[in-house]
Amino acid sequence: MEKSWKNRLQEYCQKHNLPLPNYRIRQQSGASHEMKFQVEVEVNGRWYIGQENCSSKKEAEHSAAQKACTDLISNNLEPDPIEQTHHREDDSIQHMPAEYADIERFISNMVESFSGRIRKIRPPLDARGKYRIEITGNYRYCDNIQRHHKKNQVYFLVDPINRLYYQRCHDRDCQGFQSAKHKIPTTQTSDIQHEANSSGKCPNHSN
């Protein structure tokens, strides 16, 4: 018997040591005897949206699982190493190690130009992994929409070995988006900051 999409997705998460899929109703409409559903599923911090107007919640969940499986399995996408294991809230640290202080300062200066700040830093799972830097405050710039989100925050994944970083965000409409990788300058001065123009758009990154 062929496995259902929900079973396939659950096996994918178990294989990659990820938290189990998290389903939730995105839309629900219609009279009580003919309800229509749309469900989205969270996998590894990303949301995948199923088809609209499914006749049951179960059908809607399978639709969302199919969408996730298509993206993750059919396209052979592997989870980012930093996110293969679920981080607990108390896994965060206040600062990056001293040898990466200039990298932390670069990120801090960039977001402070829009009244943002570093909320917390999650360390990598191994010596060559990526740090996840969560941002709070007014800095919500997303490369996907080329502007600041109104509410949802962004975060950066930082590779200190190769001095690279890229941006992701918590907005479900940007599910699965990852910005291009940007180079972190090797030297900085106290006045290095990203300039803000009148439209609130961030300047080009160095590549």
What does the pLDDT read at residue 187? 66
CATH code for the structural domain at 5-79: 3.30.160.20
**Confidence check: pLDDT of 196 > 50:** no
The Cα 65–Cα 62 span in angstroms is 5
pLDDT: is 176 or 157 the higher one?
A: 157
Tell me the H-state helices in 32-119. 57-69, 101-112
H-run or E-run covering 123: none
Least confident of 14-28, 78-92, 170-184: 78-92
Per the prediction, the chain carries an average pLDDT of 80
Q: Model confidence at 110, in pLDDT bands (50, 70, 90)?
A: very high
What does the pLDDT read at residue 71? 81
pLDDT: is 46 or 101 the higher one?
A: 101
For residue 25, the cross-strand partners are 39
Express as a percent the part of the chain with pLDDT over 70. Answer: 77
111-151 pLDDT tens trace: 998 999 999 999 886 666 889 999 999 999 999 899 999 88
What does the pLDDT read at residue 1? 54
What does the pLDDT read at residue 183? 94
Q: What is the mean pLDDT of residues 173-198?
A: 65
Rg (the chain; Cα; Å): 19
Domain spans of the chain, in order of start: 5-79, 89-183
**DSSP symbols for 27-57:** EEES-GGG-EEEEEEEETTEEEE--SSBSSH
Predicted structure pTM score: 0.53
Tally of CB atoms within 10 A around 185: 12
User: Which pair of tokens denotes residue 34?
Assistant: 């003919």
Most confident option among 1-10, 98-107, 164-173: 98-107
Tell me the H-state helices in the chain. 5-15, 57-69, 101-112
What does the pLDDT read at residue 44? 78
**Confidence check: pLDDT of 42 > 60:** yes
What does the pLDDT read at residue 202? 60
Q: What is the mean pLDDT of residues 57-80?
A: 78
H-run or E-run covering 141: strand 141-142
Q: What is the mean pLDDT of residues 99-120?
A: 94
Tally of CB atoms within 10 A around 178: 15
Q: Using the structure block, give the residue that is written with the tokens 């219609």.
A: 30
